[in-house]
Structure 1
Amino acid sequence: MELVRFCKALSDETRVRLLHLLLRHELNVGEIVRALDMGQSRVSRHLKILLDAGLLTVRRDGLWAFYRAVEQGDARAFLDGASRLFTREPMLLADLEKAEGILQERVESTREFFDTVAPEWQRLSRDLLGELRLPEKLSERVGRCSVAVDLGCGPGDLLRLLADHCREVIGVDNAPRMLDLAHSRFEGREDVSLRIGELTHLPLRDEEAEVGIFSLVLHHLSDPALAIAEAYRTLRPGGRLVIAEFDRHGVEAMRDDYGDLRLGIDRNELCRWLDRSGFQAPVVAEYDVNNGLRVLIYESVKK
């Protein structure tokens, strides 16, 4: 009986603490160990029980595994009902605070990486993409528009092209040195606005933009789905979202060489995120690049 199985799985304090974290965040074992201050073998044992009960899912990403609570079905309905009790427990809230600190370390690590490689980023991009001129491909898809936003603009390669045929362009990035490079390219340009901020909490007004672009940035984020939902908020009705992203792959070296958190993103998962946020089913184009990687360009419209 499903209800008995679910209740048995939650009959242990450690597993309640685990589920409380994983209802809110996707974490790997090492991060869970740090958040709960427990041994890895203990955490792994309880994760297996929750997985076997159907209350968790696991996403394999190369050598890493990330856990989160199930997002649909009877198991999710059960967890949503039980989760109302979690807010009464100080221990659970303390666990959540520690986990959020660990996730902030992910953000800081990515920012530090891009600040470090900012002067070399164009060369690194060429080494990776080979003959694919990605900024040009994306600019062609955007075409003429009133306001275009490059979400994760880096040193401004795409912004330069967008500014040729958009009335106003906005670049958002969380790496100060990347934005410094972009500022040096657009100093005095009133039609180019550069803003520092996180892609999951955009420094943009509701419905401020006509077109939004993510160019090979979602795989650097802990929560790409939240970034897509934020992009939806900032787009006008009928606005377009263009996403360039690596298809899922197994090149572990990308974590060290390019600061990647995810080894690409499965296209079916990305399409689910778009649909859940309120976008139409995307049109997808494919381009093979170096190291056996494939870049997918998604074009979708806000419903």
Structure 2
Amino acid sequence: MVELNTLVGVLKAAGEDTRLRLLALLAEGDHTVKDLTEILRQSQPRVSRHLKLLADAGLVRRNAEGAWAYYGLTQEGDAAALAQWLVARIDNDATRKRDRERQNASRAAQQAQAADYFAKVAGSWDELRALHVPESAVEAAVLEALGGRAVDLLIDLGTGTGRMLEVLTGLYKRGIGIDSSREMLAVARAKLIAASIGHAQVRLGDIAELDPAIGPADVVVLHQVLHYFDDPGRMLAQAKRLLKPDGSILIVDFAPHDHEFLRAEQAHRRLGLSSAQMDGWAAALGLRVALEREFPSGSGADGLTVCLWRLTATGSSNTQLDR
């Protein structure tokens, strides 16, 4: 039961036009202060002040990443339930609709920036990745994580040049790779043909808006994909929609780091993903982290550590490994 003083404080924090609009935006995914100022058409100090009041009341959470900070709706507890209740009741408001249109435009612009980058580097993508991650060790671990499982359908989201379809070719009966970059897919198709991999195909598509009819899949792979999105939790929710009830999501991405240049030069949005964040995103989807491994770069403090996670249903009998 919520104490009266706590409830009054939460209601006061939420009971203002701009703060309600912020709650509604954050209910649909994480945003930076910059994103929110552009969507709301308000100044940075004003938006920051409202976010602080919401955070102090436990309605939103803040996650600092280098020079940026991401805000999202609190996922658990009475404050989270109240925020969702309030947001549901303003969904058809005219101002809310305009905010959502601006939010969609902001996300489209970010995805276009990433697409431009991928188009430029498609031909040398595999070599570029090999510069900063121990690819052979990670790929061996990916194989081990799925070894022994019968995989009728594997879906690789953000497939890029199709490398995961190549690496895992012996484990699945049918593979589908989806990517929004035509240039990347051209490289992927050529590689699959050269390797005589006839049981996999790649498709052009927006992995942020997936058709569940593509599945259901035994395994969904997100290999070096999530750091290109402001809200990885939203992307994981898309991946879950494609899964069989006993399916697994396999994720490879960077651990938290402070290399700001990757945002400007390589279109990264998040500076790595932490274990705590992955646990939270999984729990919000009714999943759990069944496997986690880290692969340091070997380049000292300036190197990038790569992480491997496998997410499964909370009731799954999969054994917890390497946490």
Q: TM-score, normalised by structure 2?
A: 0.84
Question: Partner of 2:230: helix, strand, or coil?
Answer: coil
2:80 matched residue in structure 1: 76
The amino acid of 2:190's aligned partner reads S
Is residue 226–residue 253 contact of structure 2 (8 Å, CA) maintained in 1? yes
Sort the Cα spacing of 1:206 and 1:150 in 2 relative to 1 into closer, same or farther, 3 A: closer
What is the percent sequence identity of the aligned residues?
29
1:125-181 C-alpha deviation (Å, 9 max, x unpaired): 111114644334323433363322222211122222322443222211121111110
CA-based RMSD of the aligned residues comes to 2.4
Question: Partner of 1:281: helix, strand, or coil?
Answer: strand
2:312 matched residue in structure 1: 301
Total equivalences in the alignment: 303
2:22 matched residue in structure 1: 18
Is residue 10–residue 57 contact of structure 2 (8 Å, CA) maintained in 1? yes
Give the whole-Å Cα distance in 2 for the aligned partners of 1:297 and 1:46.
36
Shift of 1:93: 1.8
What are the equivalent positions in structure 2 for 1:114-193 lying under 5 Å apart? Answer: 114-130=118-134, 132-143=136-147, 145-187=151-193, 189-193=197-201
2:104 matched residue in structure 1: 100
Question: Partner of 1:128: helix, strand, or coil?
Answer: coil
The amino acid of 1:68's aligned partner reads G
2:230 matched residue in structure 1: 222
Question: Partner of 2:272: helix, strand, or coil?
Answer: coil
The amino acid of 1:112's aligned partner reads D
Give the whole-Å Cα distance in 1 for the aligned partners of 2:147 and 2:230.
30
Sort the Cα spacing of 1:217 and 1:190 in 2 relative to 1 into closer, same or farther, 3 A: same
Give the whole-Å Cα distance in 1 for the aligned partners of 2:231 and 2:58.
22
Tell whether 2:289 aligns with 1:281. yes
Gaps of 5+ in 1: none
Give the whole-Å Cα distance in 2 for the aligned partners of 1:206 and 1:153.
15
Give the whole-Å Cα distance in 2 for the aligned partners of 1:78 and 1:254.
37
Segment of structure 1 superposing worse, 60-69 or 290-299: 290-299
Question: Partner of 1:86: helix, strand, or coil?
Answer: coil
2:254 matched residue in structure 1: 246
Shift of 1:271: 2.3
The amino acid of 1:104's aligned partner reads A
Shift of 1:239: 2.6
2:54 matched residue in structure 1: 50
User: Aligned to 1:196, which of 175, 193, 204?
Assistant: 204
Is residue 206–residue 235 contact of structure 1 (8 Å, CA) maintained in 2? no
Give the whole-Å Cα distance in 2 for the aligned partners of 1:131 and 1:10.
47
Give the whole-Å Cα distance in 2 for the aligned partners of 1:68 and 1:79.
12
Give the whole-Å Cα distance in 2 for the aligned partners of 1:208 and 1:74.
34
1:111 matched residue in structure 2: 115
